[in-house]
Amino acid sequence: MQQRYDLHSHSKASDGTLSPAELVCRARAAGITHFALTDHDTLSGIAEAQGQAQALGLGFTSGVEISVSWNKRTLHLLGLGVDANHPGLLQGLDGLLAFRVWRAEEIARRLKRDAGIADALAGAAALAQGDLIGRTHFAQFLVQAGRAKGVREVFKHFLVNGKPGHVPGDWASLEQAIGWIRAAGGQAVLAHPARYSLTRNKLRGLLGQFQELGGAGLEVVSGSHSLDDCQTMAHHARDFALLASAGSDYHGPESPWLELGRLPPLPSICRPIWQDW
């Protein structure tokens, strides 16, 4: 049977809207044969997703999407195949969750001070159904509060660099995140590389560092990549001897521009990250 991989997704354990079990059911219904749950900075949804995948006979990889600060930017690293109970990884993620607690308070303070928006922390917290608050929850609250038409508009006007609710990240270093993932038996994959607005030279600098530090893969096919991006990233992956991954970055049915099971195939020059699974 033709295998169909989707190795990047979010449940309500982070900023998605489906439960881990609902997400796995939807993946199966969309024709995916191998699925990974990769919530932001938490592994708390893995046990439920894994149980559901087993019940449905769906291939499953436990994962996490780790927030990284690199050269004053935020990058996302997927840890695929990690042991979800590894103490070192869990401890590292705990540090990121602690930063998220402080950041959420700071976002709310700034929204009040610079945009006159009250009670954003309580509003975002009420929408967060897992153990972390993300910017997505603030965005959903601001839409509810009538401050913008949709989540994307809120990001543009309130939550990105130069806007009232922006707080710079203080996440893991590239070296730390790769170290945690490898210690937990996983493969580190640089997520949605076309999304960082890096010049070709800066991106290749990053890929060189990433590979030297023990990074294993590049997310060549992503729900947020154009077909051109996929081709470009396939060549970068080959040049840096990185394996290629594919993932939708699905967050739930409220974001209809992105559906499960609609990814293009990996370009043929790629070596898939799942080649030795």
Query: Which residue number is nearest to ligand AMP in terms of Cβ?
Result: 134
Give the pair of three-digit tokens for residue 166. 């922006």
Q: Does 15 bind Mn ion (CB under 5 A)?
A: yes
Distance separating alpha carbons of residues 61 and 246, to the nearest angstrom:
13
Distance separating alpha carbons of residues 5 and 124, to the nearest angstrom:
32
Q: Does 134 bind ligand AMP (CB under 6 A)?
A: yes
Choosing from 6, 15, 22, 48, the residue that interacts with ligand AMP (CB under 6 A) is 15
Q: Which one of Mn ion, ligand AMP, none interacts with residue 152, CB within 5 to 8 A by kind?
A: ligand AMP
User: Is 68 or 117 the residue whose CB approaches Mn ion more closely?
Assistant: 68
User: Is 134 or 223 the residue whose CB approaches ligand AMP more closely?
Assistant: 134
Residues in region 52-81 near ligand AMP by CB under 6 A: 67
Which residues fall within 8 angstroms of residue 92, CB to CB, at 6 or more apart?
66, 172, 176, 177, 180
Nearest distance from residue 197's CB to ligand AMP, in Å? 12
Residues in region 173-212 near Mn ion by CB under 5 A: 191
User: Is 26 or 135 the residue whose CB approaches ligand AMP more closely?
Assistant: 135
Choosing from 136, 176, 222, 232, the residue that interacts with ligand AMP (CB under 6 A) is 136
Distance separating alpha carbons of residues 57 and 46, to the nearest angstrom:
16
User: Is 44 or 67 the residue whose CB approaches ligand AMP more closely?
Assistant: 67
CB of 224 within 8 A of CB of 271?
no
User: Is 40 or 236 the residue whose CB approaches ligand AMP more closely?
Assistant: 40
**How many of the chain's residues bind Mn ion (CB under 5 A)?**
5
DSSP assigned state of 40 = B
User: Residue written as tokens 């997927």?
Assistant: 78
b/e burial code for range 219-252 (CB count within 10 A of at least 16 → b): bbbbbbbeeebbebbbebbbebebbbbbbbbbbb
Three-state secondary-structure class, residue 245? strand
Which residues make up the interface to Mn ion (CB under 5 A)?
Answer: 15, 65, 76, 191, 249
Which residues make up the interface to ligand AMP (CB under 6 A)?
Answer: 15, 40, 67, 134-136, 151-152, 155, 251
